[in-house]
Homo-oligomer: A and B are copies of this chain.
Amino acid sequence: MSADRSSTDARGAPGWLQLGPRTLPPPQGASDVVRDSVAASVPADRKHVGPVPATVEEWLAFVAAADAPAIAGAQALEAALPVTVERDEIAGVDVYHVVPDEISPAHDEHLFVHVHGGAYVLNGGPACVSEALLLAAGVGIRAVSIDYRMPPVHPYPTPVDDVVAVYQELLKRHRARSMVMGGSSAGGGLTMLAVQRLLGEGMRVPGALFVGTPGSDLSGIGDSIRLNQDVDRSIPEYGGLVEAMAKLFADGLELTDPRISPLYGDFDGFPPTLLASGVRDILLSNTVRTHTRLLEAGTEAELIVFEGMSHADFMIEFSSPEHQLLLAQFDRFCVRHLQGSTRKPPGGPDRVDSLRWA
């Protein structure tokens, strides 16, 4: 882990803090669901750590092993939620149409263009839809989940190309301002890379974005990468396997290249953006730095940070009140900012208990 190496070199360097050991109880300030889940998962199996595959074949075997439970999880969600999933192809890219049994009248003209996470390498194929299922069923909005091609076979720029190609095709059938694009982790990073590409080429951008705990800076900078090391239960350390996947995506480009890490790119003209993270999230710093960059650029950007939550827990803990709150905020944000909303944007957000799916 390059960040750790420099940390070792800099021990005692001016301004560096040397922090002693500490204990951290389950989060009493989170919901009971999250507190109990965190308590039960510690010290659970650490994900996204382990030996780095050395060849394309080893990478493909690693991906297949990691994706198997993700596919099972997506299938279980599809069975449990009132949605229909249909595989299709748009602009030559595999996609999944996700249609809730009940479309909210507010979102009848809206479309959620979903960009899945998975460190730019994982969650391809039928695993890609989980977040789209939760958001589509949760607020009653149609979704298209993009199964963009990924490393090791298809590194940068293919994942971004695929997202942009699908969006451009969707633009022929949907007004830009009626679409919300987004996703979590790598999905948040790719969403912003795609929007920066669209803006750079003078194209219309979606009416709103959802960016969860984004891969906005893949270079390892950020207070939370140190403070939440071994705290975040999804990504216990940034570096090693996670950094290797980022480098696989970057395909030789620097990790601070704005084509790879959108935080180093331009945010002028970004549409309204909803961001989410957690106090235990190793990418909390990534998230808040993205949020303040968006505010500086004049974007209407809203941030939610959940107590006790690790990377993407707001989607993983989908039976929690925290997830319900995020659904309510996503719903309100889309109603406020997308064209074709049939509900008047409320003075305040809808109540959480007004959601149909709970």
Q: How far is the CA of A352 from the CA of B299 in the complex (A)?
A: 11
Please state if B217 and A29 are interface contacts (CB–CB under 8 Å). yes
Q: How far is the CA of A350 from the CA of B296 in the complex (A)?
A: 9
In the complex, A104 has a CB within 8 A of chain B = no
In the complex, A347 has a CB within 8 A of chain B = yes
Please state if B10 and A307 are interface contacts (CB–CB under 8 Å). no
Please state if B23 and A17 are interface contacts (CB–CB under 8 Å). yes
Residues of B within 8 Å of A285, CB to CB, are 29, 279, 307
Interface centre among A17, A222, A230, by most chain B C-beta atoms within 10 angstroms, is A17
The stretch from A36-44, A46-54, A58-66, A141-149 touching chain B is: A36-44
Mask of A297-310 contacts with B, CB within 8 angstroms, 1/0: 01110111111100
Please state if A329 and B16 are interface contacts (CB–CB under 8 Å). no
In the complex, A185 has a CB within 8 A of chain B = no
Mask of A162-187 contacts with B, CB within 8 angstroms, 1/0: 00000000000000000000000000
Residues of B within 8 Å of A347, CB to CB, are 300
Residues of B within 8 Å of A39, CB to CB, are 14-15
Tally of this chain's copies: 2
In the complex, A67 has a CB within 8 A of chain B = no
Please state if B42 and A23 are interface contacts (CB–CB under 8 Å). no
Smallest distance from the beta carbon of A341 to chain B beta carbons, Å?
A: 15
Smallest distance from the beta carbon of A221 to chain B beta carbons, Å?
A: 5
Checking B10, B17, B29 against A222 with a beta-carbon cut-off of 8 angstroms, the contacting residue is B29
Interface positions of A from 1 to 28, Cβ below 8 Å from B: 6-7, 10-11, 13-28
Mask of A277-303 contacts with B, CB within 8 angstroms, 1/0: 001100011001101100110111011
Q: How far is the CA of A201 from the CA of B126 in the complex (A)?
A: 55
With CB as the reference atom, state the residue of chain B lying closest to A227.
B227
Smallest distance from the beta carbon of A179 to chain B beta carbons, Å?
A: 18
Checking B23, B223, B289 against A280 with a beta-carbon cut-off of 8 angstroms, the contacting residue is B223
Known contacts A305-B303, A307-B222; is A227 also within 8 Å of B23 by CB? no
With CB as the reference atom, state the residue of chain B lying closest to A220.
B28
Residues of B within 8 Å of A335, CB to CB, are none
In the complex, A322 has a CB within 8 A of chain B = yes
Please state if A23 and B18 are interface contacts (CB–CB under 8 Å). yes
Q: How far is the CA of A114 from the CA of B179 in the complex (A)?
A: 41
Please state if A25 and B10 are interface contacts (CB–CB under 8 Å). yes
With CB as the reference atom, state the residue of chain B lying closest to A15.
B39
With CB as the reference atom, state the residue of chain B lying closest to A353.
B296
Smallest distance from the beta carbon of A328 to chain B beta carbons, Å?
A: 8
Query: Which 3 interchain pairs have the tightest Cβ spacing?
Result: A15-B39, A17-B24, A288-B305
Residues of A within 8 A of B (CB): 6-7, 10-11, 13-29, 38-40, 42-43, 217, 221-224, 226-231, 272, 279-280, 284-285, 288-289, 291-292, 295-296, 298-300, 302-308, 321-322, 325, 328-329, 347-352
